[in-house]
Amino acid sequence: MSAYEAVIGLEVHVHLATASKLFCSCPNSFGDEPNTNVCEVCSGMPGVLPVLNRKAVEYATRMALAIHAQINQRSQFARKNYFYPDMPKDYQISQFELPLCEHGWLDITVNGQKRRIGITRIHMEDDAGKNIHPQGENFSYVDLNRAGTPLIEIVSEPDLRSAEEAVAYLKKLHAMVVSLGISNGNMEEGCFRCDANVSIRPRGETKLGTRTELKNLNSFRNVQRAIEFEIARQSDLLDDGEKVIQETRLYDANRNLTAPMRSKEDAQDYRYFPDPDLLPVVITDEELAEWAATQPELPEARMARYMGELQLPEQDAEQLCSDPHLAELFEKTCALGAQPKKAANIMLGMLLREINQTGVSSADLKITPEAIAELVTIIGNGTISAKIAADIFPELMKGDVMPTALVKERGLVQVSDTGAIDAAVQKVIDAHPAEVEAYKGGKTKLVSFFVGQVMREMRGKANPAMVNEALARLLGQN
C-alpha cells in the first residue's frame, strides 16, 4: 500500500437539453453550421437584456432534488469576469454566493464498499462558444453556436479516494442526468464534462494537500487514467522531497500524461458580482412540489425494482440501470412477455458486445424490443441455438428485421431431427477412428472435439443437446 492517500474532488459540467439557450431564444442544438444559432444576446452585443429560460431552472432543480440537496428557492446569478475570444460578453453568467442548491450527496459502491460522497453545490451558468484551430494554420475560428447554452456545474466535496471511486461517482451522476431527461449526457459532444482536482497526503494526515486541477478529461477512461497518472506524479514529487505546485494541468490522452497549462486562478481573480441585469431566481413552493412529484424514476430505484419484481441478479440490474437507454429497451422487451433474465442475458451479452465493437451510442440503437423478445422465444423453444443467435445478432442491430424471418431466409433453423443428427454423428465417428479409440481409452475430454466436428458438419444448426445425446449413445455402441 502506498504511503499516501489520494484526495479527489470533481467539478462536473452538464449541458442541459432545453430547446433554447439560457438567456435568449436561439436554438440549443449541436452540430449546426457555425454561427447560425446566434443573436444579439448570446453574441454579447451591448445594451441587450437576458431573459431566463424557466425550463433550465426546472432541469437544474430536478438534479438538485435527485441528490437530496438543500435547495435555495431564491438564488442569484453572478458575473464571472474573464476574457476569452469565445466569450464576447467578457463575463460568464454563473452563480457564486447564492447557488441553486448546496449540501447534497450520492452513494457509490466500489469493490463492495459503499461510500457517501458529498456534493458541495450545484449552480447554473451559461456556456462559452468554441474556438476552432485548423490544423497547420496560423489563425483560429470562433463559433458562437454554443455560447449561452445552459449548463449546471456539480461540485463535489473532496471525498473521493481513488480513480475508481471518481469514475463510479461520475457514472452515477451520468446515469442520473440521463434518467432525469435533463441532458443527453454525450461526452464526445462535451455535454458531460469533468475537471478533476487531485491531491495526496500522508496516510493518517487530515489536512488537505496541495491540489492540481486536471482538464480535458473527455471519457470515463481518460478520467481514470489521468487521475492515476497524477497520483503517481505527485507521489514521486513528495518522495523526492519536492512540493506539488497548485496549478491547472491538461491531460494528454495520446501520451497518457498531464502537463502544466496555467497557474490556478482564485475566485478573487474573477471579480464575481451579482448580475445587475438579472433578477434573483425564485422557485415557488408550488413549482418545487410539482417537480418533486413528477421526478422520473432514478437508477437506484429502478435497480431495486429489477432485483425485486423482476428477480434479476444484482450485477445484471446494476449494469442495465447504469444506462437508462438500455434499461428502457429492456423494460419494453419484458413488457412484450420476454422472460426478464433471458432478455437481460441477451442485452448484457450480445447487445453490449455490438455496442462496444461498433461504438454505436445506446441512445441511437435501432434494434427493437420486438426483435429481442422474439429472439428470447426462439432460443427458448429450440428453433435456433445461442450460437446462431449470436451470428444473426449484428443483422438485428439494423432494426428493420425480425429474427424468425431472418433465420428462415438464411436457412438457419436449428435441426432437431434425430435421423439427421445421428447421421452426422456417425459420419464424424467414422472419419476419426484414432480419436474414437482415444476417447474410449479414457480421454473423455475429446467429446468437445466431436461436438465441434458435428456442428461443423451441420453448419452450426444442430440442436446441441441432441448432438451430445447422440454422441454419447453412438460412441458407446461403437
Least distance CB 213 / Mg ion (angstroms): 5
Q: Which stretch binds ligand ADP (CB under 6 A): 3-11, 296-304, 379-387, 432-440?
A: 3-11
What is the C-alpha separation between 443 and 436, in angstroms, rounded? 9
Residues 200-239 as x/- pattern, contact with ligand ADP by CB under 6 A: --------xx-x-x--------------------------
User: Which residue in 8, 12, 14, 24 binds Zn ion (CB under 5 A)?
Assistant: 24
What is the C-alpha separation between 321 and 314, in angstroms, rounded? 10
What is the C-alpha separation between 252 and 354, in angstroms, rounded? 28
Least distance CB 157 / ligand ADP (angstroms): 5
User: Which residue in 5, 86, 157, 247 binds ligand ADP (CB under 6 A)?
Assistant: 157
How many residues bind to Zn ion according to rule CB under 5 A? 5
Least distance CB 92 / Zn ion (angstroms): 15
Question: Does 8 engage in binding with ligand ADP (CB under 6 A)?
Answer: yes
Least distance CB 358 / Mg ion (angstroms): 36
User: Which residue in 10, 108, 244, 321 binds ligand ADP (CB under 6 A)?
Assistant: 10
| Residues of this chain, 9-68, that bind Mg ion according to CB under 5 A | 11
Question: Does 14 engage in binding with ligand ADP (CB under 6 A)?
Answer: no
| Residues of this chain, 408-467, that bind Mg ion according to CB under 5 A | none
Long-range contacts of 333-337 (CB under 8 A, 24+ apart): 333/369, 333/372, 333/373, 333/376, 334/310, 335/369, 336/369, 336/370, 336/373, 337/373
Least distance CB 397 / ligand ADP (angstroms): 39
What does each C-alpha distance from 417 to 380, 413, 424, 470 come to in angstroms? Answer: 17, 11, 11, 11
Q: Which stretch binds Zn ion (CB under 5 A): 22-30, 107-115, 363-371, 443-451?
A: 22-30
The residue (of 80 and 302) whose beta carbon lies closer to Mg ion is 80
Q: Which stretch binds Mg ion (CB under 5 A): 6-14, 110-118, 179-187, 327-335?
A: 6-14
The residue (of 1 and 267) whose beta carbon lies closer to ligand ADP is 267
Least distance CB 35 / Zn ion (angstroms): 11
What does each C-alpha distance from 415 to 392, 467, 474 come to in angstroms? Answer: 17, 10, 18
Sign of torsion over alpha carbons 27, 90, 59, 327: positive
Other C-beta atoms closer than 10 Å to the C-beta of 305 total 15
Question: Does 122 engage in binding with Zn ion (CB under 5 A)?
Answer: no
Question: Does 42 engage in binding with Zn ion (CB under 5 A)?
Answer: yes
User: Which residue in 4, 9, 69, 77 binds ligand ADP (CB under 6 A)?
Assistant: 9
Least distance CB 211 / ligand ADP (angstroms): 4
The residue (of 143 and 159) whose beta carbon lies closer to Mg ion is 159
Question: Does 26 engage in binding with Zn ion (CB under 5 A)?
Answer: yes
- From the list Mg ion, ligand ADP, Zn ion, none, pick the one residue 208 interacts with, judged by a Cβ distance below 5 to 8 Å according to partner type: ligand ADP
User: Which residue in 24, 155, 406, 446 binds ligand ADP (CB under 6 A)?
Assistant: 155
Residues 392-411 as x/- pattern, contact with Zn ion by CB under 5 A: --------------------
Backbone angles phi, psi at 192, to 5 degrees: -145, 95
Question: Does 101 engage in binding with ligand ADP (CB under 6 A)?
Answer: no
- Nearest residue to Mg ion by CB is 11
User: Which residue in 197, 234, 258, 368 binds ligand ADP (CB under 6 A)?
Assistant: 197
Other C-beta atoms closer than 10 Å to the C-beta of 74 total 10
What is the C-alpha separation between 99 and 84, in angstroms, rounded? 24
Contact 10, 166 (CB under 8 A): yes
Footprint on this chain of ligand ADP (rule: CB under 6 A): 7-11, 155-158, 197-199, 208-209, 211, 213
Footprint on this chain of Zn ion (rule: CB under 5 A): 24, 26, 39, 41-42
Footprint on this chain of Mg ion (rule: CB under 5 A): 11
